[in-house]
């Protein structure tokens, strides 16, 4: 997998484990890679499914008033004009005149402790950059020779449906949120929801990131889990506080270390935002945004009303008031969440005098729940019994594997490395008394359990 200069030791180990065991592969790897893209391998797909499942449950199953949608990646170009992305969704690009590496000016300034915001104008950031030029050097070649800072649009363009000059420019969506705003009225009109209600969606988003980096943290093709909560202006501040509380509590369900999560308020609010807080996680490369919980006022619906000409106001039959609902947004990337889970779970320890790598996933997140082993692969009765146990567990749990490769110690190590909470070994005693050895990933403790009681012995939630 391509190495990034910025990766810490721990990140290097995580990246290497991800490839070795089939969590994540570099996109287009056999062609030398395609920057900013990664492919989920077999274990990555399971982990991904668990993350999305838990998030979906927290939105759709735990609330009566949150609808799920799945909107198109491609939309009318006007959507992105209305949202402000066409004119104002950019990152400050600066190019090293010596080695021609493309860099983010705000990231360079961050290295020397100068805060520059992505919301600053080209003029403002050039001023700050020029004031600090003498202190800034290229992280690749070390030279202090940069060109001017220019704002580069993050929107990825497409030619889908564009056949002649003058056809409206088409974009791949830069966030899933806009698919929700443009469907807000459809959902309201369907008759099952009324203010306040939320709309949640999981889907791909695309951004022309200047320097995709830190593995899954900043990709060009990534996935978002977003929820927009439509609420009356008077109820919005209370709803905002409730959503902040709920979103932080969500990370308990994933078993994430509380000490590595914190709130960070935005210092420079975009003009329409009423308040904006991020949940940050302490990644191996430092504290960074995991999820945004933002109070966006009526900006989004007002913009789409203005650009589309469609009335997006809501009439409250009880209060006889008409208003454009305010929006509370919770927005998190699947990829960032998975990177957090990997970093949080990654541990090196010693068990029975042997060093091991173990992913201490919370069982509900573990990509494989149970591994079943016959003690010896050349004893047909053991293999047959082990297959029987395996098939029974697989029918119930799905994410169960059978492994008869190498000695038991090696098989344990392999499962520890992918975070499998339980290993079940079928041995000669099994044939006599119908019990198996159940081994716990974290403690290494082994106990004899009757096959008929195996399922109830597993703590998987």
What does the binding site for ligand GAP look like in residue numbers (CB under 6 A)?
175, 177, 207, 209, 218-219, 222, 224, 226, 289-292, 329, 331-333, 335-336
The phi, psi pair for 247, rounded to 5°, reads -70, -35
Give min distance, CB of 282 to ligand GAP, in A.
Answer: 15
Q: Between residues 96 and 276, which has the closer beta carbon with respect to ligand GAP? A: 276
Give min distance, CB of 310 to ligand GAP, in A.
Answer: 21
Give min distance, CB of 279 to ligand GAP, in A.
Answer: 8
Q: Between residues 2 and 112, which has the closer beta carbon with respect to ligand GAP? A: 2
- Residue 396's SS3 state is helix
Q: Between residues 104 and 218, which has the closer beta carbon with respect to ligand GAP? A: 218
Q: Between residues 204 and 410, which has the closer beta carbon with respect to ligand GAP? A: 204
Give min distance, CB of 212 to ligand GAP, in A.
Answer: 7
Q: Between residues 246 and 289, which has the closer beta carbon with respect to ligand GAP? A: 289
Q: What Å distances lie between residue 255 and 249, 282, 363, CA to CA?
A: 10, 15, 9
Q: Between residues 333 and 421, which has the closer beta carbon with respect to ligand GAP? A: 333
Give min distance, CB of 289 to ligand GAP, in A.
Answer: 5
Q: What Å distances lie between residue 330 and 59, 278, 392, 429, CA to CA?
A: 10, 9, 40, 53
Q: Between residues 248 and 399, which has the closer beta carbon with respect to ligand GAP? A: 248
What is the C-alpha separation between 253 and 247, in angstroms, rounded? 11
Give min distance, CB of 80 to ligand GAP, in A.
Answer: 13
Question: Could you tell me the sign of the dihedral formed by the alpha carbons of 440, 445, 451, 454, in that order?
Answer: negative
The phi, psi pair for 249, rounded to 5°, reads -60, -30
Which run of H or E residues covers position 322? strand 321-323
Structure tokens, 208: 């022309």
Q: Which residue is nearest to ligand GAP (CB)?
A: 333
Cα distance from N-terminal residue to C-terminal residue, the chain: 33
What is the C-alpha separation between 9 and 23, in angstroms, rounded? 19
Give min distance, CB of 6 to ligand GAP, in A.
Answer: 15
Q: In what order do the strands lie in the sheet with 286-297?
A: 66-68, 197-206, 221-231, 326-333, 286-297, 275-283, 261-265
């Amino acid at each position: 997998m391509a190495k990034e200069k910025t990766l810490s030791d721990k990140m290097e180990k995580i990246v290497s484990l991800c490839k070795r065991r089939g969590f994540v592969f570099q996109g287009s790897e056999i062609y030398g890679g395609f920057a900013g893209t990664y492919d989920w391998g077999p274990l990555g797909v399971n982990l991904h499914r668990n993350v999305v499942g838990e998030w979906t449950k927290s939105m759709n199953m735990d609330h009566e008033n949150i609808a799920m949608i799945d909107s198109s990646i491609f939309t009318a170009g006007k959507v992105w004009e209305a949202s402000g992305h066409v004119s104002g969704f950019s990152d400050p690009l600066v190019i090293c005149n010596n080695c021609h590496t493309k860099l983010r000016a705000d990231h360079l300034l961050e290295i020397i402790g100068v805060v520059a915001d992505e919301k600053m104008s080209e003029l403002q950031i050039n001023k700050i950059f020029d004031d600090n030029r003498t202190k800034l050097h290229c992280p690749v070649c070390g030279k202090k020779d940069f060109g001017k800072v220019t704002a580069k649009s993050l929107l990825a363009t497409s030619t889908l449906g564009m056949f002649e000059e003058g056809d409206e420019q088409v974009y791949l969506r830069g966030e899933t949120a806009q698919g929700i705003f443009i469907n807000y009225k459809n959902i309201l009109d369907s008759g099952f929801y009324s203010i306040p209600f939320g709309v949640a969606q999981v889907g791909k988003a695309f951004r022309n990131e200047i320097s995709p980096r830190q593995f899954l943290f900043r990709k060009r093709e990534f996935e978002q889990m977003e929820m927009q909560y439509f609420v009356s202006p008077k109820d919005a501040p209370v709803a905002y506080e409730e959503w902040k509380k709920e979103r932080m509590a969500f990370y308990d369900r994933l078993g994430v270390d509380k000490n590595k999560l914190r709130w960070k308020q935005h210092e420079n609010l975009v003009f329409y935002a009423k308040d904006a807080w991020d949940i940050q996680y302490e990644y191996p490369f430092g504290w960074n945004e995991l999820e945004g919980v933002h109070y966006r006022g009526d900006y989004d619906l007002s913009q789409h009303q203005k650009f589309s000409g469609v009335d997006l106001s809501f009439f409250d039959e009880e209060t006889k008031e008409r208003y454009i609902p305010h929006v509370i947004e919770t927005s998190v990337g699947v990829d960032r969440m998975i990177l957090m889970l990997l970093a949080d779970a990654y541990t090196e320890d010693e068990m029975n005098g042997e060093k091991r790598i173990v992913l201490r996933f919370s069982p509900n997140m573990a990509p494989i729940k149970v591994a079943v082993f016959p003690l010896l692969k050349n004893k047909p009765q053991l293999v047959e019994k082990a297959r029987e146990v395996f098939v029974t567990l697989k029918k119930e749990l799905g994410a169960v594997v059978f492994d008869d490769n190498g000695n038991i110690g090696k098989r344990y190590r392999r499962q520890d490395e992918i975070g499998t909470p339980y290993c079940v070994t079928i041995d000669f005693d099994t044939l006599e008394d119908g019990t198996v050895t159940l081994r716990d990933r974290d403690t290494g403790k082994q106990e004899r359990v009757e096959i008929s009681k195996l399922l109830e012995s597993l703590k998987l939630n």
